[in-house]
A and B are shown apart, each in its own frame.
Chain A
Amino acid sequence: MTRKPDLRSMTRRELLASGAKAGAALVIGSNFVTHATEAWAMETTALEPATMATLVQMARDIYPHDRVADQFYAAAVKGYDTPEAAPAIEAGVAALDAAAQGMGHPSYLGTPWERDRVEILRSMEQSGFFQTIRGGLVTGLYNNKEVWPVFGYEGESFSQGGYLDRGFNDINWL
């Protein structure tokens, strides 16, 4: 069974469920536009699409880089979409939603402001679930060669002859 989560509609559903105030909806509404312009979709096999959507948001909230597109966060967590990992992840996301509800939000995804989501994450910072997701992101996100250009990092240089003639000492502002 293969299911395709649509992050936009997920978020929209969450939003409807949350009965969010107009102001917040506008902010989120503009996020949909951003997402809508991203040409990517991810299939899930073992995880509920809603769970994957929550994981992607969680990943961004843990390591928020506004210039890094969702697809890189999605790539960093897609490894949890296996029959072995799924039960623990579903349980973790359920706990995350429960924590959100405990703070008066409809769910994690239905919490519009980053600062509120961060507060939810802080409340479960010591949990094995949070630490697994955070630890995995350190390599899952930052060791993705495709994301390096966003940070200016140039990666492998041997094949180009190193930087001897390519600016190892080109600093000009000192």
Chain B
Amino acid sequence: MTAPFDLNDDNVVVIIGTGAGGGVLGNELAQKGVSVVALEAGGRYLPEDYINDEWESFGQLAWLDPRTTSGDWRVARDFSGLPAWIVKAVGGTTVHWAGASLRFQEHEWKAKTTYGDVQGASLLDWPIDAAEMAPWYEKAETKLGVTRTGGREGLPGNNNYKVFEAGAKALGYKEVHTGRMAINSADYDNRVACQQTGFCFQGCKWGAKWSAAYTDIPRGEATGNLEVRERCQAARILHDANGKVTGVEYFDADGNLQMQKARIVCVAGNSFESPRLLLNSASSMFPDGLANSSGQVGRNYMRHTTGSVYAVFDKPVRMWRGTTMAGIIQDEARHDPSRGFVGGYELETLGLGLPFMAAFLDPGAWGREFTTALDSYENMAGMWIVGEDMPQETNRVTINHEVKDKYGLPVVDVHFDDHPNDIAMRNHAYRQGTAVYEAVGATRTFPTPPYPSTHNLGTNRMSERAQDGVVNKWGQTHDIANLFISDGSQFTTGAAENPTLTIVALAIRQADHIAAEMGKGAL
């Protein structure tokens, strides 16, 4: 049962993007009786459509529209047109994601206070804290069915995990387990337990992994209050003479320009498209783009300090079998400046198939140094580094007027330079990751550079004061009361943890706030 709303219905909340932020927000609002139109640029794919094949799946789901890159990050050289690896589909990047679901540590909500002044970094404290977020985290963990929370069992460890765990324990690490994962270890919430097929990044064909595509979105639609318009790409947010937003112009599935009126607009297109939309909506009243009086829209782009360590052993591992990322070492996540950097990092197991391994192990490399590594693919184990990176004002998403998408809209350029703290952290993590594998007899290790960004954060950041960021503690823009940001772009700082649980917790909390304010007539 879908709810078709009229284009002229100005009582609806329009959500742009249906991923971790927008998909959850849409369902939560619909459950509370709020009328929602969700615009989604991508199509709708369900478990039966997902493909156990890395490149074919990438072609099916990934956001492939043009983007450009600049800066000293290696992605700009190796994948100049693909700064991020994110999804364009109903459910957004929760179709691709691996399911690692961690809460921020308490001090990470207050990075500026905890780390002090870090030269070149635009650190800021979040206007919210761990105590405020605890109940929302609990709701998010329940929704996602996160293992090792709420009495849910952990997942069993696969081969890749067993190597990782043995090395970690040999090194003396204590907080080592199969992760807190939004993947069922037992049947839960009408979804089956994980069958260890090993294609978590390609969309879980069993539905064992939580994704908004087949949970929140159909449930929201079932209320009759949520209409998802797929293959509809928002182009511009409109406003009236009072500076209130009034509707959204979008290109529909046939490429025709439409306009949906709105009472409230919530932007959740991930950290490139959300600022792009605000900037492309510039008007004579807001010449620098919507909600940009601070000049902060598009700035402070964060992508986590990442990298991978792969290792070859003298015997088979077969890391591709089973869950892609169910394994974690948390001992290095603490803040301990004696290591030569502020903030911390997590180490998580990661298994790639042969096609992606060839593309990502050492992009651009060739010759026997490279091919002998792949010759040992069967004997490889792998892990991923995810650490807190420093926000910098100059790491930013801007509009590149030279390059247009198929609708003639200018695309984004993504500029990123590593901060010295990022480099020090990554090098530390490479050393520790290598030591983990050497402790169990690795014959060769590979400190692998970051992939196109999977975690994209911070480009519409949350701040106490209007001049420091784009949104307040509710994700409401400082400048425009009925314009909200509902995705990872509202992150003030990135913390060491994978972001999605926090995006979901913030979306549940935001839905509660919006519905309450609407009820009071304040919005």
A and B are interacting partners? yes
Q: Mark B132-173, 1 if CB is under 8 A from A, else 0.
A: 000000000000000000000000111100110010000000
Task: Determine which of B205, B206, B315, B377 lies in contact with A173 in the assembled complex, contact meaning CB atoms within 8 Å.
Answer: B315
Interface residue? B81 (CB, 8 A)? no
Task: Determine which of A152, A157, A158, A161 lies in contact with B316 in the assembled complex, contact meaning CB atoms within 8 Å.
Answer: A152
Known: A63-B371, A163-B197, A169-B322. A155 touches B53 (CB 8 A): yes
Would you list which residues of chain A between 119 and 174 have a CB under 8 Å from chain B? Answer: 121, 134, 138-139, 141-143, 148, 151-158, 161-164, 166-171, 173-174
Task: Determine which of B52, B162, B315, B366 lies in contact with A169 in the assembled complex, contact meaning CB atoms within 8 Å.
Answer: B162
Q: Mark A90-116, 1 if CB is under 8 A from B, else 0.
A: 000000000000000000000000000
Known: A153-B353, A171-B162, A174-B163. A143 touches B317 (CB 8 A): no
Contacts of A167 in B (CB 8 A): 159, 318, 321
CB distance from B508 to the nearest CB of A (A): 31
Q: Mark B311-355, 1 if CB is under 8 A from A, else 0.
A: 000011110111000000000000000000000000000000111
Would you list which residues of chain B between 181 and 222 have a CB under 8 Å from chain A? Answer: 194-199, 205-206
**Does A156 contact B158, Cβ atoms closer than 8 Å?**
no
Interface residue? B359 (CB, 8 A)? yes
CB distance from B64 to the nearest CB of A (A): 14
Interchain Cβ contacts under 8 Å between A and B, 17 examples: A62-B367, A63-B366, A65-B374, A67-B375, A138-B358, A142-B354, A142-B355, A151-B378, A152-B316, A154-B318, A167-B321, A168-B158, A169-B322, A171-B159, A171-B162, A171-B317, A174-B166
**Does B366 contact A155, Cβ atoms closer than 8 Å?**
no
CB distance from A165 to the nearest CB of B (A): 9
Interface residue? A20 (CB, 8 A)? no
**Does A168 contact B198, Cβ atoms closer than 8 Å?**
yes
**Does B354 contact A151, Cβ atoms closer than 8 Å?**
yes
Q: Nearest residue in A to B51 (C-beta to C-beta)? A: A156
Contacts of A155 in B (CB 8 A): 52-53, 353
Known: A151-B377, A157-B52, A161-B195. A62 touches B440 (CB 8 A): no
13 additional A-B pairs beyond A65-B374, A134-B366, A174-B440, beta carbons within 8 Å, are A62-B367, A143-B54, A143-B358, A148-B354, A151-B374, A151-B375, A157-B197, A158-B197, A162-B322, A169-B162, A169-B322, A171-B163, A173-B315
**Does A152 contact B378, Cβ atoms closer than 8 Å?**
yes
Contacts of A157 in B (CB 8 A): 52, 197-199, 321
Interface residue? B370 (CB, 8 A)? yes
Interface residue? B368 (CB, 8 A)? yes
Interface residue? A79 (CB, 8 A)? no
Contacts of A87 in B (CB 8 A): none
Complex Cα–Cα for A145 and B374 (A):
15
Interface residue? B407 (CB, 8 A)? no
Task: Determine which of A65, A141, A154, A161 lies in contact with B320 in the assembled complex, contact meaning CB atoms within 8 Å.
Answer: A154
**Does B371 contact A153, Cβ atoms closer than 8 Å?**
no
Contacts of B370 in A (CB 8 A): 63
Would you list which residues of chain B between 283 and 336 have a CB under 8 Å from chain A? Answer: 315-318, 320-322
CB distance from A27 to the nearest CB of B (A): 17
CB distance from B33 to the nearest CB of A (A): 38
**Does A142 contact B358, Cβ atoms closer than 8 Å?**
yes
Known: A163-B321, A167-B318, A174-B166. A152 touches B377 (CB 8 A): yes
Chain A residues within 8 Å of B, Cβ to Cβ: 62-65, 67, 118, 121, 134, 138-139, 141-143, 148, 151-158, 161-164, 166-171, 173-174
Q: Nearest residue in B to A139 (C-beta to C-beta)? A: B55
Contacts of A64 in B (CB 8 A): 367-368, 371
Closest 4 CB pairs of A and B: A152-B378, A162-B197, A168-B322, A162-B195
Complex Cα–Cα for A90 and B362 (A):
29
Contacts of A134 in B (CB 8 A): 364, 366
Contacts of A153 in B (CB 8 A): 320, 353-354, 377-378
**Does B355 contact A168, Cβ atoms closer than 8 Å?**
no
Contacts of B166 in A (CB 8 A): 174
Contacts of B196 in A (CB 8 A): 162-164, 168
CB distance from A159 to the nearest CB of B (A): 8
Complex Cα–Cα for A141 and B357 (A):
12
Contacts of B367 in A (CB 8 A): 62, 64, 118
Q: Mark B352-394, 1 if CB is under 8 A from A, else 0.
A: 0111011100001011101100110110000000000000000
Complex Cα–Cα for A141 and B205 (A):
27
Contacts of A138 in B (CB 8 A): 358-359
CB distance from B68 to the nearest CB of A (A): 18
Residue with the greatest number of chain A CB neighbours at <10 A, chosen from B368, B370, B378: B368
Q: Mark B430-447, 1 if CB is under 8 A from A, else 0.
A: 000000000010000000
Complex Cα–Cα for A157 and B199 (A):
8
Complex Cα–Cα for A126 and B366 (A):
13
Contacts of B358 in A (CB 8 A): 138, 141-143
Task: Determine which of A143, A148, A161, A164 lies in contact with B55 in the assembled complex, contact meaning CB atoms within 8 Å.
Answer: A143
CB distance from B10 to the nearest CB of A (A): 45
Q: Nearest residue in A to B166 (C-beta to C-beta)? A: A174
CB distance from B147 to the nearest CB of A (A): 16
Complex Cα–Cα for A151 and B354 (A):
8
**Does A168 contact B321, Cβ atoms closer than 8 Å?**
yes
CB distance from B77 to the nearest CB of A (A): 12
Contacts of A151 in B (CB 8 A): 354, 374-375, 377-378
Contacts of B162 in A (CB 8 A): 169, 171, 174
Contacts of A168 in B (CB 8 A): 156, 158-159, 196, 198, 321-322
Complex Cα–Cα for A142 and B129 (A):
47
Q: Nearest residue in A to B368 (C-beta to C-beta)? A: A64
Known: A62-B366, A138-B359, A152-B377. A170 touches B354 (CB 8 A): no
**Does B53 contact A156, Cβ atoms closer than 8 Å?**
yes
CB distance from B181 to the nearest CB of A (A): 15
Complex Cα–Cα for A166 and B195 (A):
10
Contacts of B156 in A (CB 8 A): 168-169
Complex Cα–Cα for A156 and B194 (A):
16
Q: Nearest residue in B to A172 (C-beta to C-beta)? A: B315
Complex Cα–Cα for A69 and B283 (A):
61
Q: Nearest residue in B to A118 (C-beta to C-beta)? A: B367
Contacts of B199 in A (CB 8 A): 157-158
